[in-house]
Amino acid sequence: MADKARGPRREPVAHPPSDDPAADIGVEARIAAGVLLNAALERRNGLDEAMSFTEVAALPAPDRAFARAVAMAALRRLGEIDQILDRRLQKSPPEAVRTLLRVSLAQTLVLGTPAFAAVSTAVKLAERGVKTRPYKALVNAVLRGVEREGPGLTTARSNLPDWIAARWAQAYGEAMLEAIALAVREEPPTDLSLKPGVDAGALAAALDGRVLPGGTVRTGARGDVAGWPGYETGDWWVQDAAAAVPVRLLAPKAGEAVLDLCAAPGGKTLQIAASGAAVTALDRSETRLKRVRQNLERTGLSAEVVVANGEEWQDDRTFDAVLLDAPCTATGTLRRNPEVLRATRPADVAKLADVQHRLLDAAALRVKPGGRLVYCVCSLEREEGETQIIAFLRRNPAFRTVAADPAAVGAAAEAVTPEGWLRILPSQWPEHGGLDGFFAARLERR
C-alpha cells in the first residue's frame, strides 16, 4: 500500500457556513480535526501550531479538545485507517475527501463515536465543500459499508512508515518492532515528576494513579492539569517516566555546579534544581526558555537561564556535571507525538547526527576533571544514540563509560546495553503501561 500520509496537504477548511446552524452542531469541531490532522502530516510541530489557527482557536474549549483527540487518534492509526479505505476505494479520491474519511473512521473505530453520528456529520461536511460535494455519495457509501461489514483485518505495523519499520526491524528485531508498533496505537498516561518531600503515594491516590520505579507518579486522568492537586503549589511537573531517567543517571548533588545544555522545555532543569545543585539552563531559543522560567517560578525552584547556542557559548566556566539532551528526530516520543513518524525523513537522521556530534564535543569541554557527562536523545535511531557515543569515545580518550544501574535510575533491566548505556524502548515496562523511547549514556572525565 502506498504511504498516502506523506507530502503536502491542502486543509479542508474553506467551507461556507450552513444556513441552518442547528444542522452544524459538531461539524466545526470535525473541520478543526481535519485541519489539525493535515497540519501534523505537513510538518513537524504542525499540530501544535495549528491549535492557534482560527478554525481551531475560535471553538469552545470542549470542541477544541475533541478536535485534537480526533486528530491524534487518526495519527496513531493512520496506516490502519488507510488500509481500510484502500480496500473500499477503487481509486484515490481528492485529499479533502480522504481527510473526511480518516476523521470519521478515527471517531468510530478508535474513539467509539456512534457510527450514525460520525457518518451523518461526514456527509454534511462533504456537502459543504465545493471539492468534496461530488463525492458525497462516496463518503456515505464507504462509511456505511465499514459500519455494516466491519473494518476487516489491519496490522499495527502499517501505522509506521515503511522506511522506519525497516530500520527498527534491523536494529531491534521483528518481535520488538511489532511491540513498538502496538505501543503507537495507545494514548499514553500522564507522568509527573515530584519535588523532594512531596508524598508520591498521596498524590497518586488523589489522581487515581500509581508510583512507578524511580518515583514518577503515573495517572490515567485527563483534562487540564492546572486543576490537579499540587499544581498551583508547584509540587510537580509533567514529564514522561523515560525523560526523567537521564537526570537520575547524572545524579546531581547539592552544591554541585551543573550545566543543562539544550535545556528547554525544562523538565530536566527542574529535576537538577530540585537536587539542590546550582544549575545553568542553556538553550538557543528564547521562546522555549519562557516555559522553563514559568515552571521554575511555579515550582519555586531556581536556575540560571541563558539564551545561547551551546556550540558558541562565550563563557569559560566548567562544571561538575553536564547534561546534553541533544536535538534529535524524537522518534522515541511516538506514543505522545505520533506525528513525528510522518514528519521525519531519512535525511533528518544524518542532519541531526551532525549537530549532535558538534554539541557533544562542545559539552565535553565544559566538564571538569573527574566530572560527569550524560548524553541523551529521545530517538530510537542508533545513529543518534549508540553510534554517537562510540565515535565520541574514539575522539575523546579522556572520557570513559560509567555503567548504568537500571534499578537506581528507574529503567527496565533490559534497557541496559552490553556497553552499560541505556536503550529504553516504548515496548518496555508493559506492566506499567510503557514509556517513551530514549538513549542515555553516562561518561566520566578521567
Res. 223 pLDDT band, cuts 50 70 90: confident
pLDDT beyond 50 at 23: no
What is the bridge-based pairing of β-strands 278-283 and 367-377?
A: unpaired
Identify the pLDDT of residue 173.
Answer: 96
Res. 16 pLDDT band, cuts 50 70 90: very low
Average confidence (pLDDT) over 154-162: 96
Q: Full-prediction pTM beyond 0.75?
A: yes
Distance CA 196, CA 100 (A): 48
Known catalytic residues are 378
Identify the pLDDT of residue 158.
Answer: 96
Identify the pLDDT of residue 179.
Answer: 95
**Cα dist. 252→27, 278, 305, 365 in Å?**
52, 9, 18, 18
Identify the pLDDT of residue 156.
Answer: 95
pLDDT beyond 70 at 391: yes
